[in-house]
Amino acid sequence: MPEPIIVTRGVSKIFNPGQPDEVVALNDVSLEIGQGLVTVIQGPSGSGKSTLLSLLGCMSRPSMGHILVGGKDVAKLPERFLTEIRRRTFGFIFQQFNLIRGITVLENVMLPLYPLDTPLTEIGRRAVSILDSLDILSKKDVKVQHLSGGEQQRVAIARALINEPRIILADEPTAHLDTRLSGELIDILQELNRNGKTIVIATHDPMVIEAPLVDTIVSMRDGTVQ
Amino acid sequence: MNRHAKILEYALSSLLRRKYKNLGLVVVFSLVIAILSSVLFFTDSLRSEATAMLAAAPQLVVQRLSGGRHDLIPLAYGEKIRRIPGVGKVVPRYWGYYYDYLTRGNYTLLAVDQDRPDLQLLEGSLPTAVGECAIGEGVARAGMIGLGGYLVLADGRGQYAALKIRGIFSASSNLLTNDLVVMTREQLLQIFSQPADLATDLAVQVYNEAETALIAKKIKLLLPDARPITRGELIRTYEAVFNWRSGMVLTMFLGALVAFCILAWEKAAGLSAGEGREIGILKAIGWETGDILELKFWEGMAISLTSFLTGLLIGYVHVFFLGAVLLAPAIKGWSVIFPRFALNPDVSLYQILVMLVLTVVPYTACTIVPSWKAAITDPDIVMRG
């Protein structure tokens, strides 16, 4: 196995600790994500896949345990550093696409780089190039709410790639796509992997789990790794 | 383009995306500012008009009180006052108020026997004989009369006097001359049926300005039924009256202000699900909490500054071009019988800054606080709602 790029050690995540509605979403999860590999985290709904993915992507902090990204423990880092790691290391593809309605495809893709000092023309050039590679450049001036599900997913992928991340995290990326579009998405992810991206996919879609691009499968149930 | 400009650009586009909601907010906010600024512009202009007028007022005016009310003063009092050391000239003044049923205007009648440099004429000249007058612009407008025309006034016996208009006043202070009707002393005594040995009050010249209060005290001792009024006291009274009136209006307006604050707080505190989700998305794709706060700051500033400037403009037009039609009854008090007059624009930077601090800053804070609460939360929690 190649050098691990993400390592979790005894990670637990408890929502509303000490409250009557306390939920243990993850319990003592330890795993390694190999650099340059495609890892699938599979399991039924409520098994903790999305929670684990958000912890791996520094979108939340664990209640216990350690998470090492590129050898650095991020579990206790202040929010500012987590944002920096998120910005430089990860690209997110969400189940609900999470595009910002009311603005165009191009603006959505450019958005992650707005708070950086990169000139707007450079951001635009990069966004156009990515949209072109994903075959959706013709829609660049269309507001995202007017796109089909498959087109929105491509825009979400383009946005995930604008900051040139090393790791792509995808949460149920085929949940709202039909078989043909799911197939296209798998092809895109495969192409990204060929270009050196590490890909982590949380899904229970057999089409993804059984796809030839998958290197490692992590099975989860009731917040633990099986 | 640096990062701040890009965030500002995104903030403006965000506002346009929710244009109807934000437009409603701008309209309400602008109206609140318009009312606030109208009150402040109006009272401040009245105050400065009054101050300008009082600058030319005598150092000391002596009235006579009878039954606690202002009464006519015997000219003999002037002789006694003149003998007090430090007193220069004592000039009897003749004036009074006249209510005109036809125009429903309250005029100030004033006798002038010599040239008054503070009463500049727009056209014509001061009256020199019985049967002549000079009037203020407000009187001319109310009576729809002009130079060469006649102003008809009724005297105390019910007799009518037609006064030929020899001049129409203009002054830097409209408050001074707008409702003024100037005539000779004989004419005024005739209209008010006033005995010739009584004046309305006495204007007293004091050689040393610093001794005015002391002279006033001596006059009170010498003439117990006299009421000496210094120029300083007059200025303070005007200030108090205008402050009280503007305070009264602002108090009435407080309810509306509180309602707006609640609206602003609800708008800001009640981040909609969409707005909360958007903050989560921005954080997830790499925006820092500081970037989001800057975004919300620009949004708040854009709304509040637009509203502030619009409201300020409306207030300015309302007061200085439309004569404060909505406020005059409350602040002038006696407007039904007061001739309309235009205020000279007098806007202080201090006033504007105070309004800015009292409106824009709280609104922007109201907007930022809930966004900050959303922005410091982990992005996945924000996105899960």
Q: What is the CATH number of the domain that holds A93?
A: 3.40.50.300
Q: What percent of chain A has pLDDT over 70?
A: 100
Residue B21 contacts A where some CB pair is shorter than 8 Å: no
Query: How far is C-alpha A172 from the geometric centre of its chain's CA atoms?
Result: 9
pLDDT at B176: 61
Closest CA of chain B from A101, distance in Å: 9
Q: Where in chain B is the domain with CATH 2.40.40?
A: 95-193
The CATH code of the domain at B95-193 is 2.40.40
Task: Report the alpha-carbon distance of residue B66 to residue B58 in Å, rounded.
Answer: 23
Residue B284 contacts A where some CB pair is shorter than 8 Å: yes
Residue B317 contacts A where some CB pair is shorter than 8 Å: no
Residue B383 contacts A where some CB pair is shorter than 8 Å: yes
Task: Report the alpha-carbon distance of residue B30 to residue B165 in Å, rounded.
Answer: 45
pLDDT beyond 90 at A5: yes
Residue A64 contacts B where some CB pair is shorter than 8 Å: no
The minimal CB distance from B378 to the residues A61, A100, A115 is found for A61
Range of the domain at A13: 4-225
ipTM confidence score: 0.87
pLDDT digit string (tens) for chain B, length 385 residues: 588 899 999 999 888 888 888 888 889 888 888 888 888 888 777 777 777 777 777 889 999 999 888 899 999 999 999 999 999 999 999 999 999 888 888 888 999 865 565 666 667 888 889 999 999 888 888 888 888 999 999 987 888 999 999 988 875 545 567 788 999 999 999 999 999 999 999 999 999 988 999 999 999 999 999 999 988 887 777 777 666 655 665 665 665 666 666 666 666 555 677 777 888 889 888 888 889 899 988 988 898 899 999 999 999 998 888 877 777 666 554 433 344 556 677 777 887 887 788 778 877 777 777 777 777 777 776 556 4
The candidate with the shortest Cα–Cα distance to B354, out of B308, B299, B294, is B308
The minimal CB distance from A159 to the residues B1, B285, B379 is found for B285
Structural tokens at position B227: 């009421």
How many domains would you assign to chain A?
1
User: Apex CA B110: angle with CA B183 and CA B186, to 5°?
Assistant: 50
pTM higher than 0.80: no
Closest CA of chain B from A223, distance in Å: 17
Q: At what angle do helices B19-55 and B231-269 cross, to 10 degrees?
A: 170
pLDDT at B328: 67
Task: Report the alpha-carbon distance of residue A123 to residue B11 in Å, rounded.
Answer: 18
Contacts of A92 in chain B (CB under 8 A): 284-285
The reply to whether residue B379 touches residue A60, judged by beta carbons under 8 angstroms, is yes
Residue B67 contacts A where some CB pair is shorter than 8 Å: no
Q: What sign does the dihedral A127-A132-A138-A143 (CA atoms) show?
A: negative
The candidate with the shortest Cα–Cα distance to B267, out of B32, B16, B21, is B21
**DSSP element (H, E) containing B167:** strand B160-169
Task: Report the alpha-carbon distance of residue B40 to residue B346 in Å, rounded.
Answer: 10
Q: Which residues pair with A168 in a beta bridge?
A: A91, A199
Residue A112 contacts B where some CB pair is shorter than 8 Å: yes
The reply to whether residue A115 touches residue B380, judged by beta carbons under 8 angstroms, is no
- Contact assessment for residue A103 and residue B17, using Cβ atoms and an 8 Å cutoff: yes
Q: How far is CA B293 from CA A28, B66, B246, B265, B283, in A?
A: 35, 68, 37, 17, 11
